[in-house]
Amino acid sequence: MTQIADTHDQAMRFAEEAFVADLHGDDAKAQPLLRKAFELERQAAELLFTEFDVEPTRSVLFRSAATLAQRCGEHREAERLIAMGLSGRPPEEIADELRDLLETVHLERHLAVRGMRLDPCELQMALAGPHVGYGLIESNAFLSRGETVKKLLARTAERKSGLEFREHGTAPKAIVEQFEQYVSVPRAASFAISIRFGGPERQLPLPGFTLAEQVIEEVVECLRLFHNGSVDELRQRVVDDAYRRNFTALARRLAPDGRRVTSVGFTALRRGKASAVALDSLPSPIWTAAKESGNGKVLDLTGELKLADSTKSKHNVIGLVDQEGKQHKIQVPSGMLADIVRPLWEERVQVTVQRKGQQLHLVEIGPANDSATESRSA
């Protein structure tokens, strides 16, 4: 056992050195150290291959060796080590961790065939509330927020890449390839998922923050400013009006509704340290477009979204047929049509508009609440 302990300790020293080098963006130094750690940890684990009664030490060593193999890109070797760990009598908790690791290895093998790799950074989203159980959640409360987070990440990636806000069409191919998103199996932490980026395998990480890390950090920090009501700070961080309007509209959709979901939390690792923000209250009205634009009477309308016209006018236009059959044409500000309005096409919606002269300008839009009061006439 002394030889096993010494080999394991040496492997952990190399792994720690690799971690420090990685934190400093020195990939050329980190990778050889990581491989040395893997080789030594594999030796330590294999010395216990036939020692089935030495638990949990045996399965812990195989789990550690398999994790290092996965980080080195040795997917077949990681599979073999996981199988060896499961072939004994590991405690159920460690057995589950080995199975989870096997799922990750299988995904990474699949991506490698496609010439892609997973970025190591993750963004975790956790939800809690009356309609959230231990590993269970009302589907609409989760699916809509999951889709919204994906949009937030994609738009932030485009903004951080210096692209002009895209009102129509799809993101550039380079962005799509670099920021393909993968979502983990939901976990019973109230209800939590992780989102990771995948990108071309040929693309090597640069020293310092990768763009994926910058995107995740930016989303977490902007959500913190949103939650704190820090209008000026968010305006300084997201200078472009369309991107800022898009962000605040998506953030309002992420926020708790106070009935089904009372908390929406986000966690990311920033240079090895957790960075977190919890949206645990209803969104402040300070973020509505009406607050920014100032003048004009604010009206509420409920009806069916019937048309969207982005070709005949400089401004995007949507049509709304209210409960009395009256049609309203509403101007949509930049940043809202594709991500906020279009998904509600042909649905019954509730909108807040601002009258400016003879025109109605969209402030907010969302699915109509069944208990919504009658619309005020425009």
Answer yes or no: do 103 and 190 share one domain: no
Position 370 scores a pLDDT of: 44
238 within domain boundaries: yes
Answer yes or no: do 78 and 227 share one domain: no
Can you give the residue range of the structural domain that contains 10? 2-113
Question: pLDDT tens track of the chain, all 378 residues?
Answer: 789 999 999 999 999 998 888 767 677 888 899 999 999 999 999 999 999 999 999 999 999 999 999 888 898 999 999 999 999 999 999 998 899 888 878 877 766 666 666 666 778 888 888 888 766 778 888 888 988 998 999 999 999 989 999 988 888 887 877 777 888 767 655 677 888 877 666 554 444 457 788 899 899 999 999 999 999 999 999 999 999 999 999 999 999 988 888 889 888 866 556 678 889 888 887 876 544 445 668 888 999 997 655 555 545 888 899 888 898 999 998 899 888 898 888 889 999 888 888 889 898 888 887 433 333 334
Position 120 scores a pLDDT of: 63
Answer yes or no: do 202 and 220 share one domain: yes
Answer yes or no: do 191 and 225 share one domain: yes
Answer yes or no: do 169 and 221 share one domain: yes
At how many degrees (to 10) do helices 27-46 and 57-71 cross? 150
CA 320/CA 323 separation, integer angstroms: 10
pTM summary value: 0.69
Position 133 scores a pLDDT of: 72
Answer yes or no: do 36 and 52 share one domain: yes
Burial 300-330 (b: 16+ CB within 10 A, else e): bbbbbbeebebeeeebbbbebbbeeeeebeb
Look at the chain and report how many structural domains it folds into.
3
376 within domain boundaries: no
The answer to whether 318 and 332 have CB atoms below 8 angstroms apart is: yes
Answer yes or no: do 128 and 221 share one domain: yes
Q: What confidence tens digit (pLDDT) does each residue in 217-226 have?
A: 899 999 999 9
* Single-letter code of the amino acid located at 358: Q
Looking at 113, 147, 174, which one is the last position of a domain? 113
Helix extents (H) in the chain? 2-23, 27-46, 57-71, 75-86, 92-113, 139-160, 173-178, 211-228, 231-237, 241-254, 289-293
Q: What is the CA radius of gyration of the chain?
A: 25
Answer yes or no: do 238 and 356 share one domain: no
209 within domain boundaries: yes
Answer yes or no: do 138 and 64 share one domain: no
Of 151, 205, 143, whose CA–CA distance to 181 is shortest?
Answer: 151
Answer yes or no: do 43 and 129 share one domain: no
Of 161, 193, 201, 160, whose CA–CA distance to 177 is shortest?
Answer: 201
Q: Is 181 helix (H, G, I), strand (E, B) or coil?
A: strand
* Single-letter code of the amino acid located at 264: V
CA 128/CA 142 separation, integer angstroms: 10
Position 18 scores a pLDDT of: 87
Looking at 61, 93, 113, which one is the last position of a domain? 113
378 within domain boundaries: no
Looking at 223, 258, 287, which one is the last position of a domain? 287
Answer yes or no: do 212 and 188 share one domain: yes
Position 40 scores a pLDDT of: 95
Q: Which residue has the tokens 């949103």?
A: 226
